[in-house]
Structure 1
Amino acid sequence: MPSPRQQLTRRQKYRNRRIAFFGVLALVLAGLVYVVSAGAAPLPAAAAALSQPEALTAAAAQPAWPDFGETAIGAVGFDGVLASSGEQGAVPIASITKMVTALVILEAKPLAAGEQGPNITFTDADVDIYYDTIAEDGSSAPVVAGMVLTERQALEAMLIPSANNYAVSLANWAYGSVDNYLAAASAWIDQHNLTGTTVVDTSGLSAGSMSSPADLVEIGKMVATNPVLADIVAMTKADLPTIGVLTNTNKLLGDFGVDGIKTGTTDEAGACLLFSADFTVGSETVTLVGVMLGGDTHSELNDAIAELIQSVKPGFQELTLTEAGAPYASYASAWGQTGQAVAAESKTALVWSDTPVTGTVTAKPVGTAHSGDAVGSIDFQVGSRTISVPLILDGTVSDPGLGWRLSNPGEIF
């Protein structure tokens, strides 16, 4: 028989039952909170194990340089001069000056590809300019008072036979006077940062019209990418009203891929040629731009340029930077799933000589993701250019499910 001290009162029994009930309830609620929290908690993101690509370097080019004058080469789409030979200071450039004249005239009187532009009526003043040119023993093309040429035709008359008189007439037409033109040309030269270039006339007959090989390469690139001028300087002949057939002074046109740009010849400058040549490298077309100054004769100059072009071609190479699907990073989730970050596309790059090519991989951590999701990039540094290729996930990293979440609290909390 329990003693009175051992017997629980009804109040005590009720209190104990409440304690037991709420204890169990607390455990159940705690369990529910854990289950809900574990199910909703963000999964740990797997860091990418990166695989950096090896540097790529092509063989160095071996240009065949002449043993005279100054030479430099570049290419459209490439910065600056790619290679050079001889002194690189400013020297007289003879009729190559007319390419500056043409570019500056088109600043005032723009032409689109295929356009003829406004008509120009030539006057007695233009006839006088023609006879002045002959008296100076400069290159010229006929002009008749009252004849009409379009702007495009007048540019052809200036550039194809290298007619000094048309350089003066066009400058007068576009700017009102040669002095006004020279002021505009000086401003244009400054605008394009052609620090080695000075023009004191429209034709280059004066030895004071000078430039450096580096500047001439840049001027050549402007011409090669101007659809009107690129078309004109590639013409071997032009048949113009009143004037008749004019023949291009550039005898290399059509050979070795040459499609421009401008000859120049004076006693001070020697034989000169600013040239462009197109050739195919892999899936790319290279537009080579070069200048050779100070030759004794144009025959000697042309032979040297032909040899140079052929020696330069192998110096351009199309390198494969990456193939689509190439892996650059791997992932391993805490619950055992794996995936790779792979290149989303194939990519090549046209390079000159031994231009260094390096790649840097970046990839973000991945929690869950679907196949094809963007996860990073590989950035190739090709000389001064950066070429980026997206990285995508190859494989799916899915939620491991509630069972794994509940049994791995240390991974998710």
Structure 2
Amino acid sequence: MSIDDRRDEFAEFSAMLARGEAQATSRGSRPTLEVEPDGRIAPPMDAAAVARARRRRTRAGIATVVVVLMILAVVGTYIPLALSAPVDAATVHLQPVTAPKATAVALSLPQVGESAVSVAGAEDFEGTTGTNGILASSGGTAALPMASISKLITALVILDAKPLGEKDAGPNITFSKADHDLYDKYYVMDASIEPMSTGSVMSERDALATILVASACNYAEAMSTWAFGSQANFLSATRKWLSAHGMADTKLVEPTGVDARNVSTPTDLIAIGKLAMANPLVATIVGSQSASVANIGQISNTNDLLGIDGVNGIKTGTLDSSDLLFSARVDVGIPEPITVVGVVLGGDSRQSVNDAARALIASIQSGFQQIRLVGEGDVFGTYTTPWNDDATIVAGEHASALAWSNAAVTSTRTTRKVTTAKTGTKVGSVTFVAGKATVTVPLVLKGSITAPDAWWRLTHPAHLFDPR
């Protein structure tokens, strides 16, 4: 049989297979013919072999379809999920914060005699109230002669019996011959005196001014006798007044202070000074550098420290040593000035006592310090992301706080989760506590944190689909 005949036979047989008409029914079935690539007729194959070849081709086709479907699933499912999946928040790295420190105040306490000082109006600052109302003291606590500071107690006891309002003149007092004789009594003692004629008339207010401003001893005795009828009654009332105010270490044996047995302690005198300044009339009188009174005219205050460094009272005293009970209104940077009440007993001279008081006031004022808490732009940490984007956490503004002495300063920080954010975004805050003052400063981003790009998303499935 020629090659052409074999090709015709193969073509006819192939057509029969396509129509389903060729079947392998027995060993004697017509052989299956195939053509080699070079055109030669391949050796005949039986029907079973043909069936096996078909099955192989079917399985290969199915595998191809599965692969194609899997590729389509990846393209149609993973890529959209990867591009839209949420990403973890940036990791925050906070830097340690160094607490700002204030300088401990070194109070300038007098080096002679005894002294004490108290501060009021600064209760919001830890450490200013001291112990039992005394911020600091020096030289001991013994009761010492208080000289003419005694007259302040005399005036307060008189006002306890004969009270006056701040602007009241009070009743008129007519001075007797006995009152007039007091001028001579104290003159020979070389004490402070002012004229007092027999039959002269003066208001209670003017008389008290003469006692407290000019420190006139004759007026102190005359007025205390007027208020209580006798010196014995006055001294009895004074003991009761001192006891009622808890001043067990203060004693008066007469109303002027010329007697060294009139004694008190710095602690008691601080309390007396506060009582005096709490009385509007007394505070006005002791804060006056001069006064004009009936029958005398202009009188000058013995306290020549008035008006200097905020001093607004209270009373001087001089015997063998120099004493000063003072009050001062001191500006320390808060809405209202603080009040300093201090006392110096047993000073060498009026000038040395004044200098000691001024130095003490200045040292208290210097103890109130503005502490720099943070500057705008100070770095507190960073945010970083797995896709290598980062931004710095900085203070959004400058802040300082007024503190007393070396008050402890602490800080706490809070930050929020950040995935993407622009520069300047508030991401938290830092709160400082300086004594009793609390200051909160915003924390903001310096630099932006942007979302990861598509390539990073497609190539980092573990970051996107981590079950954690």
- The TM-score by the shorter chain falls in which range? 0.5 to 0.7
- Corresponding residue for residue 34 of structure 1: none
Answer yes or no: is the 8 Å Cα contact 1:171–1:181 preserved in 2: yes
Instruction: List gaps (5 residues or longer) in structure 1.
Output: 1-54, 320-348, 359-379, 388-413
**Corresponding letter in the other structure for 2:325:** L
Question: Following the alignment from structure 1 to structure 2, what is the Cα–Cα distance between the partners of residues 142 and 225?
Answer: 30
Bigger drift between 76-85 and 303-312 goes to: 76-85
Of 327, 338, 358, the match for 1:306: 358
Is 1:315 paired with 2:336?
no
- Corresponding residue for residue 28 of structure 2: none
Q: Give the drift of 1:66.
A: 2.2
Question: Following the alignment from structure 1 to structure 2, what is the Cα–Cα distance between the partners of residues 237 and 253?
Answer: 10
Q: Give the drift of 1:213.
A: 0.3
Of 253, 257, 275, the match for 2:326: 275
When the two structures are superposed, what TM-score results if normalisation uses the length of structure 2?
A: 0.56
Question: Following the alignment from structure 2 to structure 1, what is the Cα–Cα distance between the partners of residues 206 and 347?
Answer: 30
Q: Give the drift of 1:118.
A: 1.0
When the two structures are superposed, what TM-score results if normalisation uses the length of structure 1?
A: 0.63
Q: Give the drift of 1:354.
A: 5.2
**Number of residue pairs matched?**
284
- Corresponding residue for residue 296 of structure 1: 348
- Corresponding residue for residue 169 of structure 2: 116
Question: Following the alignment from structure 2 to structure 1, what is the Cα–Cα distance between the partners of residues 189 and 269?
Answer: 26
- Corresponding residue for residue 107 of structure 2: 63
Answer yes or no: is the 8 Å Cα contact 1:73–1:83 preserved in 2: yes
Decide whether aligned partners of structure 1 residues 113 and 126 sit closer, same or farther in structure 2, where only a CA change above 3 A counts.
same
Bigger drift between 302-311 and 164-173 goes to: 302-311
Answer yes or no: is the 8 Å Cα contact 1:133–1:140 preserved in 2: yes
Q: How does 1:4-43 map to 2 (within 5 A)?
A: none
Q: Give the drift of 1:145.
A: 1.3
Q: Give the drift of 1:352.
A: 5.3
- Corresponding residue for residue 150 of structure 1: 203
Decide whether aligned partners of structure 1 residues 127 and 68 sit closer, same or farther in structure 2, where only a CA change above 3 A counts.
same
Question: Following the alignment from structure 1 to structure 2, what is the Cα–Cα distance between the partners of residues 101 and 169?
Answer: 11
**Secondary structure at 2:152's aligned position in 1?**
helix
- Corresponding residue for residue 390 of structure 1: none
Question: Following the alignment from structure 1 to structure 2, what is the Cα–Cα distance between the partners of residues 128 and 174?
Answer: 18
- CA RMSD of superposed structures (Å): 3.0
**Secondary structure at 2:271's aligned position in 1?**
helix
**Corresponding letter in the other structure for 1:68:** V
Question: Following the alignment from structure 1 to structure 2, what is the Cα–Cα distance between the partners of residues 213 and 250?
Answer: 18
Residues 370-399 of structure 1: per-residue CA shift (max 9 Å, x gap): xxxxxxxxxx9x89xxx9xxxxxxxxxxxx
Seq. identity, %: 47
Is 1:82 paired with 2:124?
no
Q: How does 1:157-176 map to 2 (within 5 A)?
A: 157-176=210-229
Decide whether aligned partners of structure 1 residues 353 and 98 sit closer, same or farther in structure 2, where only a CA change above 3 A counts.
farther
Bigger drift between 274-283 and 74-83 goes to: 74-83
- Corresponding residue for residue 79 of structure 2: none
Residues 178-213 of structure 1: per-residue CA shift (max 9 Å, x gap): 111111110111111112211111011111100000
- Corresponding residue for residue 95 of structure 1: 148
| Greater RCO, 1 or 2 (C-alpha within 8 Å, sep 6+) | 1
Question: Following the alignment from structure 2 to structure 1, what is the Cα–Cα distance between the partners of residues 370 and 189?
Answer: 49
**Corresponding letter in the other structure for 1:144:** S
Residues 60-119 of structure 1: per-residue CA shift (max 9 Å, x gap): 321112221111101235552111111121111100011111111110011111111111
Decide whether aligned partners of structure 1 residues 62 and 99 sit closer, same or farther in structure 2, where only a CA change above 3 A counts.
same
- Corresponding residue for residue 39 of structure 1: none
Residues 296-322 of structure 1: per-residue CA shift (max 9 Å, x gap): 110121122112211111224699xxx
- Corresponding residue for residue 292 of structure 2: 239
**Secondary structure at 1:146's aligned position in 2?**
coil
- Corresponding residue for residue 251 of structure 2: 198
